Chains A and B, each alone.
Chain A
Amino acid sequence: MTRRHPSEQLIAEATRPPHGHADPFGARMGMWLFLFTEVLLFGTLFLVYAVYLETYTREFNRGSTTLAVPVGAVNTLILLTSSLTMALAVAALHRARRRLSMALLAATIALAAAFLVIKAFEWADKFDHHIYPGSEIFAEAATGYELFFNLYFVMTGLHALHVAVGAGVIAAAILLVARSADPQRRVALLENTGLYWHLVDMVWIYLFPLFYLIG
């Protein structure tokens, strides 16, 4: 009669082999954790903004008046709509509507591109008015005016970079959805892409009022 070693009170040999099927919940958790780093990344810039807003409120108000509200609002609507098309793309793939899903993803990219084009025009317009980092016109302006625009360029620039990268990731997702034998296997991937995209949208939801609407 073999005696069980006392250590078997602590750890037993289970009977099943380690499981090998994929775990979309875990993949989603990984994406959320990555999004938290993005929250802190942009969050730090928002903190810098908040500190300088409190110190230089009047100059920030003045700076805000130079930004065209209608243009910013249009860009906001573009991004909100892109979030809708992204969410609908995932819903479509859930219901095995592969081509609809790909079309909606393409629409998301198109909206992202529109956003970037408009942003580029905005920046070009600012440069035309000699508003750029290190410009001499800030020497005559009140203290704090330059900080508003430094923050504007850094924050909208970092955001635009994320929009561009997001568009690239969505493009890759279109390819993967197109080529997958069973498109519903790509649902988790598309959901995670969507999470990233919605975060980019959320950042803009805060950027828009802070730069355009406090004039």
Chain B
Amino acid sequence: MSDAPIQLDQPNAPSYLQRGGIFSWLLTTDHKRIGVLYLISITALFLFGVSMAFTFRLELLSPGMQLMSLETYNRMLTLHGVTMIFLFIIPAIPSIFGNFLLPIMLGANDVYFPRLNLLSWYCYVVGALMALASVAYGGPNTGWTFYVPFSVETEANIFIPLSAVVVLGWSSILTGLNFVTTVHRLRAPGQTWFRLPLFVWALYATAWTQLLVTPVLAITLVLVVLDRLLNIGMFDPGRGGDPILYQHLFWIYSHPAVYIMILPAMGAVSEIIPTFARRTIFGYKFIAMSSVAIAGIGSLVWGHHMFTSGQSDTARIVFSFLTFLVAVPSGVKVFNWVATLYKGSIVLHVALVFTLMFIVLFTIGGLTGLMQGALALNIHIHDTAFIVAHFHYVMFGGAGVMFFAALHYWWPKMFGRLYNTSVALAAALIFFVGFNLLYFPLLVAGLEGMPRRYGDYLPYYTVYHQLSTVGSWILVFAILLMFANLVRSLRSGPRAPRNPWGSTSIEWFISSPPREENFEHTPEIRAKPYTYPQEVQDDPPPSI
């Protein structure tokens, strides 16, 4: 190639990272800076969540309570759940990578409501501080699901954590509102719906879900608070209320919430695989439509969290059927990704390694989910360690791993630095070993009857817990190694070129890191995404 690809921005202008002091960051309306602000705060909360799990896994190393009381154990695992779900997994990919990349992928200079975007971040920060503040009051002890009647009657402080969740919900809602409007109104010329990158499709489907179901959780938790404060017992069986109604309302949000977690992760998979297979994605329209289908059908399956609570048989059968149905679009995606890899010119970069890891771990998680969807089996494995392992496979091995993948994929774009790929690869492989050692024994233990949320257990389960706890040590080491490697690159990594991976997605046609103004001129989109023209395919892949 004698010519460079087109340059869509002003490469001599300052990057978005450069100008201004701390106040310019705290009052920024630049979507890229907001993405970075989210990255810092979310990573901090993630590590907080990891530290709690690390600690109570130490307690679980042997039967009996050695390190803490059962009450403390309950509080620690509740806070772990609240942190990981509301402060890490739900916001991570949309608020960090969605914020950073969505406008760029649309050829726009920012989201539609930049100030609302900043407000979203402040809602996140306030919610996070409130959740941390709840520790000062001992922390909630109800589990992250806050089931009534215990959440109404417990003496632990519930007001602060529930209020924190409501505030965090607003962060999610405002992000969703912003993204839907942005996708509708700020697409570049030539960018029809079926030319959108699949990451955008994923964010769009997620945004609608965030918008519609989060208010259900907000008002439900408000009802619990009203019961505690003003004795307005909406779910009190002694006064005619139905605790199962709380569960319905809670899961009407919290099941779609897991699709809020996984859809953006799957969007990232669809971005990473074509780049490192050097070919177009297989079945673009099917993947796009599957994102919509997962969001849609995923809103209809919430009852499968409540099979043993006392629903009618009719409801259970309906929810079980719908649960099996929602696996189909996920399966479509997995098949399409694998088909994309088949006969591609594969470059095993660490981002792709994480992505392949996602496919393996998410499939295991998904299959165990199908097992749980079967009514007869569910009775035996509900509320056991099997469930815990299942959701860690899909949420952590799924969305969490794609968070790592996205970090490694878009890091050069966001910060203009390359990291040490050998260390990153080592961290990834060590993570895989640690992850499976941590969670696979829990699958078996659960089938053997080990209950969840138990701080103590019968000696029969000891070996499973020992394996699991050792796995947690390996996993935590890998995570710390991975983050240290990335952070180190900020100061001493080589400067990244504009397009280190040889991708043809639009974000790789602007500077690394981007300028304050993403595009000097609005680009015009002329082709479908993930198009690798023959000449580009003939190029030797960039050496990594």
Contacts and interface: CB of A to CB of B under 8 A. Distances in A.
Nearest to A134: B231
A40 B216 contact: yes
B249 A48 contact: yes
Interface in A33-53: 33-34, 36-38, 40-41, 43-45, 47-48, 51-52
Contact of A26 (B185, B189, B504): B185
A44 B216 contact: yes
Interface stretch (A16-24, A75-83, A115-123, A164-172): A16-24
A14 interface: yes
B215 A37 contact: yes
A133 interface: yes
A11 interface: yes
B241 interface: yes
Contacts of A47: 249
B8 A13 contact: yes
Contact of B245 (A6, A48, A56): A48
Nearest to A5: B5
Nearest to A42: B219
A150 B527 contact: no
A10 B245 contact: no
Given A4-B3, A9-B526, A30-B181, A40 B213 contact: yes
Contact of B181 (A6, A12, A26): A26
A80 B176 CA distance: 31
Interface string B503-538: 010100100000000011111111100010101100
Contacts of B233: 146, 150
B214 A147 contact: no
B440 to A, nearest CB: 38
Interface in B130-172: none
B180 interface: yes
A154 to B, nearest CB: 6
Contacts of B519: 18
B526 A12 contact: yes
Interface stretch (B61-69, B83-91, B105-113): B105-113
A84 B435 CA distance: 61
Contact of A143 (B3, B226, B240, B252): B240
A25 B185 contact: yes
Given A33-B177, A33-B181, A150 B232 contact: yes
Given A37-B212, A40-B212, A16 B522 contact: yes
Among A25, A26, A150: residue with most chain B CB under 10 A? A150
Among A9, A10, A13, A45: residue with most chain B CB under 10 A? A10
B177 A30 contact: yes
A3 interface: yes
Interface string A115-155: 00000000000000000011000100001101100110110
Contact of B533 (A6, A23, A33, A153): A6
Interface residues of B, number: 61
Contacts of A6: 533, 535-536
B212 to A, nearest CB: 6
B16 to A, nearest CB: 16
B232 A41 contact: no
B263 interface: no
Interface string A149-181: 011011000000000000000000000000000
B77 to A, nearest CB: 28
A125 to B, nearest CB: 19
Interface string B205-220: 0000001111110111
A23 B184 CA distance: 12
Contacts of B458: none
B173 interface: yes
B526 to A, nearest CB: 6
Contact of B239 (A7, A13, A146): A146
B230 interface: yes
Nearest to A29: B181
A136 B188 CA distance: 63
B242 interface: yes
A161 B240 CA distance: 27
A21 to B, nearest CB: 12
Contact of B6 (A13, A55, A147, A151): A13
Nearest to B521: A14
Contacts of A182: none
B173 A37 contact: yes
B22 interface: no
B240 to A, nearest CB: 4
A14 B524 contact: yes
B242 A18 contact: no
B173 A16 contact: no
A144 B24 CA distance: 55
B223 interface: yes
B234 interface: yes
A36 B211 contact: yes
B1 interface: yes
Interface in B1-19: 1-6, 8
A154 B230 CA distance: 11
A11 B240 contact: no
Contacts of B218: 41
Interface of B: 1-6, 8, 108-109, 112-113, 116, 173, 176-178, 180-181, 184-185, 188-189, 211-216, 218-220, 223, 226, 230-234, 239-242, 245, 249, 252, 504, 506, 509, 519-527, 531, 533, 535-536
Given A5-B4, A45-B219, A134-B230, 12 more contacts: A6-B533, A6-B536, A10-B504, A11-B523, A12-B523, A17-B522, A19-B522, A37-B177, A37-B211, A41-B218, A47-B249, A154-B232
23 contacts: A2-B3, A3-B3, A6-B533, A7-B536, A10-B504, A11-B8, A11-B525, A11-B527, A12-B523, A14-B188, A14-B189, A14-B523, A14-B524, A15-B521, A26-B181, A41-B216, A47-B249, A48-B234, A55-B242, A133-B232, A138-B239, A144-B240, A146-B233
